[in-house]
Amino acid sequence: MKLKKVLAIAMASMMVFGLTACGGNDAAPAATDAPAEEAPAEEAPAEEEAPAEEAPAETEAEDAAAEDADAAAEAAGAGGNIGVCIYKFDDAFMTTYRNALQEILEGKGYTVTFMDGKNDQAEQNNQINNFIAQGVDALIINPVMTSAADQIIATVKDAGVPTVLINREPTAEQMSAYDKLVYVGCDARQSGTMQGELILDTENKGDINGDGKVSYIMIQGDPENVDAQYRTEFSVKALTDAGIEVEELDLQRGDWDRNKGQEIAQNDLAKFGDQIEVIFCNNDDMAIGALQAIQAAGRKVNEDIYLVGVDALDAALNEVAAGNMTGTVLNDAQGQAEGAVQAMEDLLGGKTYASGEQSIYVDYVKVTPDNVADFQ
């Protein structure tokens, strides 16, 4: 992505970012699978924080407090040690996100260490404990499993380490356990809805064969991940809310992985052939895989089949521009990384978050052939 455009998008996102701190999703948390070795450290819980009812900085006192926070954050930037836990390095979107975080944090003078959770929550728990033992000033954590949120929050709270969670959103209730914790990310329902809208915007609203219904396959990410759940649900809901009849030919988990996307699409194209009018992929990497299968099967996107993803990876932007993907949805890694660092600096400056105000959202953006050049 060109720098100018990245900045424009990031700035637009930050405007939203400043305004949309709001409650987390209300999905019931899955049972916590807390490994025994994750027993909380002994330190006294940090109870001395200011009461957490800060409104946006409108008054002079609040402005002054914000300035103090900025000064403290700048001081921390001169030598702060930041630990970043990524759920796994081998993930296309999280690689973009990780690179953005690294550039921003190092650019601000922080010493930053990234750990690869290797898609293993027990491994990530150890990494979090190690960072705490090393005395990091703040943590940025992309949890491996949404169901581990309670465990992670209890651990960082006991250690009193300011923490920004990214990419996998816990519930508002879970986050309310610790007022030096905030989630920065996107509302995955929005991306699902936008995927559905990309299909609604086509000339036949997805009903290529004119039989009165849209027949689709759904290639899902990791189903434990709320992004996968919401994108699966809300992409189809956008169609049914518009009064369109739908038929799900298949739903398979592709775990965000290009090769799995390719395999699932290949098998389904062999099995269902021309019945498939739409392939929904929860992310772009799986969509690129599905595109390989579509092309191998002699099908042509936007003529006899539609294909949508999420993330706006560079490879997907190229395919949208070439007419080989119907569209994608920008998952703004740059905006989220900037938001996460901003939230971290606010925490380092002493800010605490009230219950119900611990989710900060960056907007998704629909990408079609009409506006794809703005993102390349």
> By CB under 6 A, which span of 170-178, 221-229, 333-341, 345-353 interacts with ligand GAL?
221-229
Structure tokens at 200: 């609604």
Asked if 313 and 285 count as a contact pair (C-beta separation under 8 A), the reply is: yes
Site for ligand GAL in 38-77 (CB under 6 A): none
User: Segment near ligand GAL (CB under 6 A), from 62-70, 85-93, 205-213, 314-322?
Assistant: 85-93
Give the pairing type, strands 138-141 and 245-253. Answer: unpaired
> Does 96 help bind ligand GAL (rule: CB under 6 A)?
no
Among 262, 331, 336, 358, indicate the residue that binds ligand GAL (CB under 6 A): 331
Sign of the Cα pseudo-torsion (13, 15, 21, 26, in order): negative
13, 69, 93, 337: which one binds ligand GAL (CB under 6 A): 93
Give phi and psi for 234, each to the nearest 5: -80, -20
**Would you state the structure tokens that stand for residue 315, as one six-digit string?**
């490879």
Decide: is 194 part of the binding site for ligand GAL (CB under 6 A): no
Given 9, 80, 84, 91, the residue binding ligand GAL (CB under 6 A): 91
Give the number of residues written for the chain.
Answer: 376
Give the closest residue to 177 by CA, choosing from 358, 370, 14. 358
Partnered with residue 140 across adjacent β-strands are 84, 164
Out of 227, 319, 338, 363, the only residue in the binding site for ligand GAL (CB under 6 A) is 227
Distance CA 97, CA 183 (A): 15
Q: Does 235 bind ligand GAL (CB under 6 A)?
A: no
Binding of ligand GAL by 310 (CB under 6 A)? yes
Pick from 31, 35, 19, 342: which is nearest to 174 by CA? 31
Alpha-carbon torsion (103, 107, 108, 113), positive or negative: positive
What track of x and - describes contact with ligand GAL for positions 271 through 290 (by CB under 6 A)?
A: ------------x-------
The encoded tokens of residue 22 equal: 């709001």
- The strand pair at 138-141 and 81-86 is best described as parallel
State yes or no: residue 256 binds ligand GAL (CB under 6 A).
Answer: yes
Give min distance, CB of 170 to ligand GAL, in A: 13
**Looking at beta carbons only, is 331 or 342 nearer to ligand GAL?**
331
337 belongs to the binding site for ligand GAL (CB under 6 A): no
Min separation Cβ 6 and ligand GAL, Å:
18
Which residues here bind ligand GAL, judged by CB under 6 A?
Answer: 87, 91, 93-94, 167-168, 221, 225, 227, 256, 283, 310-311, 331
